[in-house]
């Protein structure tokens, strides 16, 4: 019994097999992906930048919000002052704190995105 013959195999090659190949240049992303020493330095610099930003924003918010009790302690008249029939400490702690927190969050997000965009641009150029 004879077996039916299937399609014949054909080897397909590029017409440019003898052409010189471009050297593969290492990029920053490749350095990071392969976890080389240079990639570790790149990642360390990104993390350090993010940490500095976080500490600066937290420090600024802490100074502003931490200054509220200091204001009440140093200026006793602020403890009894009323704003539209509501004690000033309640107005500050119940209303004025939220814009400070919101602005701190917006500043952090905007600068964190800027840091990441600069890092991505820098690593892409390498």
User: Across the chain, what does the average pLDDT equal?
Assistant: 85
Q: Token pair for residue 15?
A: 């017409």
Supply the pTM of this predicted model. 0.67
DSSP H helices, the chain, are 28-33, 37-74, 77-80, 88-91, 97-125
Note the maximum CA span of the chain. 111
**Backbone torsions φ then ψ of 36, nearest 5 degrees:** -80, 175
- pLDDT per residue over 91-112, tens digit each? 888 888 899 899 999 999 999 9
Distance between CA atoms of residues 52 and 123, nearest Å: 20
Q: At residue 120, does pLDDT exceed 80?
A: yes
The string of pLDDT tens digits covering residues 11-55 is 777 777 666 666 665 577 777 777 888 888 888 999 999 999 999
pLDDT given at position 22 = 65
Q: Given a cut of 80, is residue 69 above it in pLDDT?
A: yes
Three-state DSSP state, 86: strand
Sign, CA torsion 14/20/25/30? positive
The SS3 assignment for 4 reads coil
């Amino acid at each position: 019994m004879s077996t039916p013959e299937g399609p014949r195999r054909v080897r397909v090659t590029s017409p440019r097999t003898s052409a010189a190949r471009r050297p593969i240049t290492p990029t920053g992303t490749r350095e990071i992906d392969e976890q080389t020493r240079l990639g570790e330095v790149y990642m360390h610099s990104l993390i350090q930048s993010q940490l500095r930003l976080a500490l600066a924003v937290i420090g600024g918010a802490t100074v502003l919000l931490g200054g509220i009790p200091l204001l009440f302690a140093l200026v006793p008249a602020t403890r009894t002052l009323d704003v539209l029939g509501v004690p000033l400490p309640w107005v500050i702690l119940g209303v004025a704190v939220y814009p400070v927190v919101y602005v701190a969050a917006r500043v952090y997000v905007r600068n964190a995105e800027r840091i990441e965009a600069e890092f991505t641009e820098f690593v892409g150029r390498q």
